[in-house]
Chain A
């Protein structure tokens, strides 16, 4: 069997706040195979970005602490590495595209100087490139993300570009080195529909061309459907379901996945579902047992006591819900 590229095992993470610990991540299990495109969906505040930041080790470590679990990247535990080793990984192997391209770019430097910095401190530094050569490299990658007039873009400041262009610049920066894993954290959320569509196509093509693994986080479930092969559903810091992307959207099994997918307005216009009653739990005192039980339609006594493990439905499809326990109903 193929070894997974990234394996997150029983990750537990807390944030220290005034008055206690926010128990945000609760036994997160997550795998990405080499060259696999994985989707991750869930409501705001369910810990999607936190998990990704933990993988990149870019959480503010003063308030966040990982209490349990491991993050294996190519078989090595990222959590046990020293800073230099992590930097090496960030430099060469994992890149991240953030939700807000405006915040991801430094407003006081030109795009060109930011590119030069990245090239300088990435793996390309060995080649000792001159400024001109670095510029050529930047232009090459900017052309790949379909930006018109790359020379002008290198000279401009982020504020002089539109939102769509900024996101393209961020994608170009992420794809500069020959990476193995790209984490795209809601790459189109702050953009308009038509621009989002363009970014999505671009990302899809580039990823296919480079043949790398991708973790795509998005609220736009349609976007997930078009790009990914396998999708995880996350709720309140735990993975509740994983399946082939088509299965998640056609026959979701976990009550939360069902409610979430039903809440998306459809173009067919058959009305809008009632949404999900209640709200995401307070992480200071999360409910015992399954964290979804206060909002669940099928709640059973066991849900209030014990957190369900993953139950296998088929090869890929797994659900963390007591309804699917073998021998149960």
Chain B
């Protein structure tokens, strides 16, 4: 049942010199879209890195650009500027220019399993495609075996190979998407809000499965979500995005113990919690106000100043730079200098 990890394509080239243990480094990444209304700065100069075998959480409201980051890393978009490095190899180019081995290594799971699976293909065909493309299984018999193995891995019955996506539930569809992503033995999986469309009971099941796979196959995850409570239970480091920029980046424990950026505090204090114990963990109530502005008209200065309860004069004029407050805890706010 377990997959044996093979990095043959990569190791043989002899390119790997593990200077640092980052699987992915994003440096000054920018992605602009040109629309009729103007230039949308969806991702505007962001930096972060994901360590080998780490779950990195990227959190933000809708419209903050977090999915664009995932799509750019996956190669769907050509970055406007900046550098994406995967295991010391520059991958800041579009998907069609990437090698097959690279595509095999980085896989993505989309938010809505209803639209990310082709309704005209059976589950067998869906799971068979990556095996065929990457030549993982030679003939039909081997592929069938492998598909059944994949289904077993996500705890779905074997006879699902005859079913079509619309015949199964939303949670099961997402399991199929995950199985498809894992079919190629990837090292880095980009999870774009994989459970936000699902019920809590199904979410718990999928998250547990994802954690299990991460441990079993030593995967690294870029986990995108807007649910901070979920992030607390999952990620080892967290970055908060607002209007295309990262405002705070820290290890998970530090992040929830000592949130610094006013936006982070606002997000944390607006989580509806169940127990008194959780209530104590929340920063003192910051009233959430306003909505995320349109990314076409990003306000001058710090983009958060319109909603910030602690704004100062400088916030209207100057965009703050990222500073390291304590070791590994970065924040981009004029309050910290």
Q: Which residues of A contact B (CB under 8 A)?
A: 43-44, 162, 164-165, 192-198, 200, 219-223, 225-226, 249-250, 259-276, 279
User: Would A198 and B278 count as touching, CB distance under 8 A?
Assistant: no
Q: Does B205 contact A (CB under 8 A)?
A: yes
- Chain A residues with Cβ under 8 A from B170's Cβ? 44
User: Would B274 and A222 count as touching, CB distance under 8 A?
Assistant: yes
Contact of A197 among B226, B272, B274 (CB under 8 A): B272
Q: Does B282 contact A (CB under 8 A)?
A: yes
Contact of B275 among A192, A266, A279 (CB under 8 A): A266
User: Would A273 and B272 count as touching, CB distance under 8 A?
Assistant: no
User: Would B199 and A266 count as touching, CB distance under 8 A?
Assistant: no
User: In the complex, what residue of chain B is closest to A259 when comparing beta carbons?
Assistant: B201
Q: Which residues of B contact A (CB under 8 A)?
A: 61-62, 169-171, 199-208, 211, 226-230, 232-234, 252, 256, 266-268, 270-275, 277-278, 281-282, 288-289, 291-292
**A264 to B267 Cα, complex, angstroms:** 18
**A193 to B277 Cα, complex, angstroms:** 20
Q: Which of A225, A249, A275 has the most CB of B within 10 A?
A: A275
User: In the complex, what residue of chain B is closest to A148 when comparing beta carbons?
Assistant: B290
User: Would A263 and B273 count as touching, CB distance under 8 A?
Assistant: no
User: In the complex, what residue of chain B is closest to A221 when comparing beta carbons?
Assistant: B274
Q: A267-B228, A274-B205 are in contact. Are A196 and B199 (CB under 8 A)?
A: no
User: Would B270 and A194 count as touching, CB distance under 8 A?
Assistant: yes
User: In the complex, what residue of chain B is closest to A262 when comparing beta carbons?
Assistant: B204
User: Would A261 and B274 count as touching, CB distance under 8 A?
Assistant: yes
User: Would A219 and B199 count as touching, CB distance under 8 A?
Assistant: yes
User: Would B278 and A225 count as touching, CB distance under 8 A?
Assistant: no
**A271 to B235 Cα, complex, angstroms:** 11
9 A-B Cβ contacts within 8 A? A192-B61, A193-B226, A193-B267, A194-B270, A220-B272, A225-B272, A225-B274, A265-B230, A268-B277
Contact of A226 among B207, B234, B272, B282 (CB under 8 A): B272
Contact of B271 among A222, A260, A274 (CB under 8 A): A222
- Chain A residues with Cβ under 8 A from B200's Cβ? 43, 219, 221, 260, 263-265
**A317 to B171 Cα, complex, angstroms:** 32
User: Would A263 and B61 count as touching, CB distance under 8 A?
Assistant: no
User: Would B272 and A275 count as touching, CB distance under 8 A?
Assistant: no
Q: A266-B278, A276-B201, A279-B171 are in contact. Are A196 and B270 (CB under 8 A)?
A: yes
- Chain A residues with Cβ under 8 A from B208's Cβ? 272, 274-275
**A223 to B271 Cα, complex, angstroms:** 9
User: Would B61 and A43 count as touching, CB distance under 8 A?
Assistant: no
User: Would B291 and A164 count as touching, CB distance under 8 A?
Assistant: yes
**A92 to B183 Cα, complex, angstroms:** 57
Q: Which of A225, A262, A265 has the most CB of B within 10 A?
A: A265
- Chain A residues with Cβ under 8 A from B277's Cβ? 268
User: Would A222 and B273 count as touching, CB distance under 8 A?
Assistant: yes
Contact of B229 among A195, A267, A279 (CB under 8 A): A267
User: Would B273 and A260 count as touching, CB distance under 8 A?
Assistant: no
User: Would A271 and B233 count as touching, CB distance under 8 A?
Assistant: yes
**A263 to B206 Cα, complex, angstroms:** 11
**A261 to B278 Cα, complex, angstroms:** 14
Shortest Cβ gap from A212 to chain B (Å) = 22
Contact of A264 among B61, B234, B274 (CB under 8 A): B274
Q: Which of A43, A164, A222, A272 has the most CB of B within 10 A?
A: A272
**A164 to B268 Cα, complex, angstroms:** 19
User: Would A192 and B62 count as touching, CB distance under 8 A?
Assistant: yes
User: Would B201 and A275 count as touching, CB distance under 8 A?
Assistant: yes
- Chain B residues with Cβ under 8 A from A192's Cβ? 61-62, 226, 292
Shortest Cβ gap from A259 to chain B (Å) = 7
User: Would B205 and A275 count as touching, CB distance under 8 A?
Assistant: yes
**A50 to B66 Cα, complex, angstroms:** 35
**A78 to B233 Cα, complex, angstroms:** 46
User: In the complex, what residue of chain A is closest to B232 when comparing beta carbons?
Assistant: A269
Q: A197-B272, A198-B288, A225-B274 are in contact. Are A266 and B229 (CB under 8 A)?
A: yes
Shortest Cβ gap from B305 to chain A (Å) = 16
**A264 to B256 Cα, complex, angstroms:** 18
- Chain B residues with Cβ under 8 A from A225's Cβ? 272-274
- Chain A residues with Cβ under 8 A from B171's Cβ? 279
User: Would A44 and B233 count as touching, CB distance under 8 A?
Assistant: no
User: Would A265 and B229 count as touching, CB distance under 8 A?
Assistant: yes
- Chain A residues with Cβ under 8 A from B228's Cβ? 193, 267
Q: A197-B288, A266-B232 are in contact. Are A275 and B266 (CB under 8 A)?
A: no
Q: A196-B270, A260-B200 are in contact. Are A279 and B169 (CB under 8 A)?
A: yes
**A273 to B229 Cα, complex, angstroms:** 13
**A123 to B208 Cα, complex, angstroms:** 53
- Chain B residues with Cβ under 8 A from A270's Cβ? 233
Shortest Cβ gap from B22 to chain A (Å) = 24
- Chain B residues with Cβ under 8 A from A44's Cβ? 170, 199
- Chain A residues with Cβ under 8 A from B282's Cβ? 267
Shortest Cβ gap from B286 to chain A (Å) = 10
- Chain A residues with Cβ under 8 A from B273's Cβ? 222, 225, 266-267
User: Would B274 and A194 count as touching, CB distance under 8 A?
Assistant: no
Q: A196-B270, A265-B227, A267-B232 are in contact. Are A273 and B288 (CB under 8 A)?
A: no
User: In the complex, what residue of chain B is closest to A195 when comparing beta carbons?
Assistant: B291
Contact of B61 among A193, A219, A261, A262 (CB under 8 A): A193
Shortest Cβ gap from A122 to chain B (Å) = 29
**A273 to B205 Cα, complex, angstroms:** 8
15 new A-B contacts at CB < 8 Å, known A272-B234, A275-B202: A44-B199, A192-B62, A193-B227, A196-B270, A221-B200, A223-B272, A265-B204, A265-B207, A265-B232, A266-B274, A267-B232, A268-B277, A274-B204, A275-B204, A275-B208
**A136 to B197 Cα, complex, angstroms:** 40
- Chain A residues with Cβ under 8 A from B266's Cβ? 194
